[in-house]
Amino acid sequence: MSVKPRNGILVLDGPRVVRDAPRLILVAIAYFIVASLGLQLASVNPSATPIWPPTGVAIAAILLWGYRVAPAIFVAAFLVNQLTAGSIFTSLGIALGNTLEATTAVYLVRRWADGERIFDTPTGVVRFAQICVATTMISATIGVGSLLLAGHAETNNAATVWLTWWLGDLAGALVVAPVVLFWAKSGLTSLSQGELSRTGLTYLAAIAIGVIAFSPLIPQTPIRDPLGFLAILPLLWAALRRGPRDTATVALILAAFAVWGTMVGSGPFARPTLNESFLLLLMFMISTAVPSLALSADLSEHRRIQEQQQLLLRELSHRVGNTLAVLHSVFRRSARYASTVQELDDAFEARLMNLAATHKLLSEGNWRSAAISDLVRAAVQPYCPPSYDDCQFSGTEVRLPASMVLTLTMVLHELATNAAKHGAFRSKGGKLKVGWQQEVGPAGEIKLQLSWAEFGVPNCQPQNCNGYGTTLIDMTVSIMGGSVDRTFGENGISVQLLIPLS
């Protein structure tokens, strides 16, 4: 939902509201369902439960879809509290606290951390945990404060209610939010058949450990209590072998079994009161989910760095080979047409410096592409005055793939060299106009159309305005699959290049 000014009046953007309606409804329904289930476990106060996964759902939804889903969270939180206990005042206060909690957490994640990529690094995981520790206090403080003001909570029990509220929200944020984010961004479609089977086996192992260590299906005995430490095995396996998404999912599976067992008084976290049992369970969930997710993020980051290094090494080898081949070609062609050693030295040095300028432009573009405007300026810079008064450039933004940058640089260099020897740059008063644009062919192919026009060149005829550079230009453009069209006039020359951008 958005608001736009029209004629000085703020009005709702109707199409945006309609487009966002499915997301708003989905978030509201998901929040309402998990909130209703969480409130079933409340013991110290009907509005304070130690298990509160809606916090994670709200944070993930706002991170994915923006603050415009916040109203859906507020409405769902209000309805679920209104239908559970309290009054309209307390329901409004609790809904406000829940919404502020999630929106503040997302704001800090985007401002202080890496937004949706916060779980990509161990530092991001730690920062997310710190943010959640602080922001979940907002909901606990506003919620307990509204209950006290309305008389729905006793002052002597306020500390216990606040602690239960805070830890429940904190665990929900740390355990649920990563799972929702990871699966929303990837989904099952991103898994190959092999990946799906390995992920399934990891989850089955977590389920088996959950049944053995936490579920009420097995009678609880003192000998069974230490089995809770088995939870570290699937978490470590997922962190070491599967990645952050599966690590977060395994932590959620184990937490679900632990909640199930604790709810019926079974498992290693069972204590005299249900709330004490859940508080102990929450500390287990937090202390296992955060370190395992940080470990998984660290290993994944290390693998990404290794892959990037290998890619860079392959790219460097490829670039060095290409550069050496270009240098060899330039030297051979320069030597073939040079009549003296000095002429060879001048020609080769000029072309070498032009290639160096091109490499600089490529490095600034991460060796992926370069702008044609930068290549043209680099080619004519040695001949134009600093203000470029004699050179005019025009054209749209066209970026060339790295594979053709060096080759086109040689063409532009030869055009500029010819202009210096025979054309516009040879004598005072010459002018150069260079224009470029993209052109779409009949079959949908994209081509670069470059116009190189020199003026103020008297008696410009093929025999006077051509040199070795002309031959090199024709050969190079032909190799690139393009064409060259020259027009000689009484006062200048026009060169039209048409080169496929592939």
Do 467 and 420 form a contact (C-beta atoms < 8 A)? no
Per CATH, the architecture of 340-500 is what? 2-Layer Sandwich (3.30)
Greater model confidence, 20 or 261: 261
pLDDT value at residue 135: 92
**Could you report the per-residue pLDDT of 87-119, keeping only the tens digit for each?**
888 889 999 999 999 999 999 988 887 777 788
Q: Is 415 exposed, middle or buried (0-12, 13-18, 19+ CB in 10 A)?
A: buried
**Could you report the per-residue pLDDT of 345-364, keeping only the tens digit for each?**
766 666 666 666 655 655 55
Q: What are phi and psi of 166, to 5 degrees?
A: -65, -50
- Which segments of 113-157 does DSSP mark as H helices, in order? 122-150
Confidence class of residue 316 from pLDDT cuts 50, 70 and 90?
low
Q: What are phi and psi of 374, to 5 degrees?
A: -70, -40
Percent of the chain with pLDDT over 70: 79
State the Cα–Cα distance between residues 372 and 379, nearest whole angstrom. 11
pLDDT value at residue 191: 62
Do 474 and 405 form a contact (C-beta atoms < 8 A)? no
Q: Which long-range contacts (CB under 8 A, 24 or more apart) does 82-87 make?
A: 83/36, 84/36, 84/39, 84/46, 84/47, 85/46, 85/47, 85/152, 86/46, 86/47, 86/147, 86/150, 86/152, 87/150, 87/152
The residue behind tokens 């330039």 is: 330
Do 420 and 426 form a contact (C-beta atoms < 8 A)? yes
Decide: pTM greater than 0.75: no
State the Cα–Cα distance between residues 275 and 145, nearest whole angstrom. 20
State the Cα–Cα distance between residues 353 and 334, nearest whole angstrom. 14
Confidence class of residue 2 from pLDDT cuts 50, 70 and 90?
very low
Amino acid (1-letter code) at residue 384:
C
Residue 6, CA distances (Å) to 1, 10, 14, 157, 195 in order: 16, 6, 13, 52, 52
Q: Rounding to the nearest 10 degrees, give the CA dihedral for residues 248, 252, 253, 256.
A: 170
In 47-64, which positions are buried (b, 16+ CB within 10 angstroms) versus exposed (e)?
bbbbbbbbbbbbbbbbbb
Amino acid (1-letter code) at residue 63:
L
C-alpha closest to that of 155 among 145, 141, 168, 142: 145
CA 208 and chain centroid, separation? 35
pLDDT at residue 13 is higher than 60: no
Mean pLDDT of all residues belonging to the chain: 79
Q: Count of CB atoms within 10 A of residue 351's CB?
A: 22
Residue 37, CA distances (Å) to 59, 181, 284, 316 in order: 18, 21, 21, 56
Section 50-79 average pLDDT: 90
Per CATH, the architecture of 1-185 is what? Orthogonal Bundle (1.10)
pLDDT value at residue 6: 47
Proportion of the chain in helix, strand, coil states, percent, rounded to 5 = 70, 10, 20
Quickly list DSSP for 311-346: HHHHHHHHHHHHHHHHHHHHHHHHHHH-SSHHHHHH
Do 457 and 492 form a contact (C-beta atoms < 8 A)? yes
Confidence class of residue 7 from pLDDT cuts 50, 70 and 90?
very low
Confidence class of residue 73 from pLDDT cuts 50, 70 and 90?
very high
Section 27-46 average pLDDT: 87
pLDDT value at residue 392: 85
Q: Which among 135-144, 216-225, 235-244, 425-434 has the top mean pLDDT?
A: 135-144
Residue 446, CA distances (Å) to 124, 404, 432, 438, 474 in order: 42, 14, 26, 7, 20
Confidence class of residue 336 from pLDDT cuts 50, 70 and 90?
low
Contacts of residue 37, Cβ cutoff 8 Å, sequence gap at least 6:
53
State the Cα–Cα distance between residues 431 and 494, nearest whole angstrom. 12
pLDDT at residue 472 is higher than 90: no
| Residue 92: both structure tokens together | 């409004």
pLDDT value at residue 96: 93
Confidence class of residue 460 from pLDDT cuts 50, 70 and 90?
low
Do 497 and 484 form a contact (C-beta atoms < 8 A)? yes
Do 186 and 195 form a contact (C-beta atoms < 8 A)? no
| Domain ranges in the chain with CATH number 1.10.1760 | 1-185
Residue 187, CA distances (Å) to 65, 300, 463 in order: 16, 18, 67
Confidence class of residue 12 from pLDDT cuts 50, 70 and 90?
very low
State the Cα–Cα distance between residues 250 and 268, nearest whole angstrom. 19
State the Cα–Cα distance between residues 410 and 412, nearest whole angstrom. 6
pLDDT value at residue 211: 87
Q: Rounding to the nearest 10 degrees, give the CA dihedral for residues 136, 139, 144, 146.
A: 170
State the Cα–Cα distance between residues 247 and 215, nearest whole angstrom. 20
pLDDT at residue 8 is higher than 50: no
What letter does residue 242 receive in the DSSP assignment? Answer: I
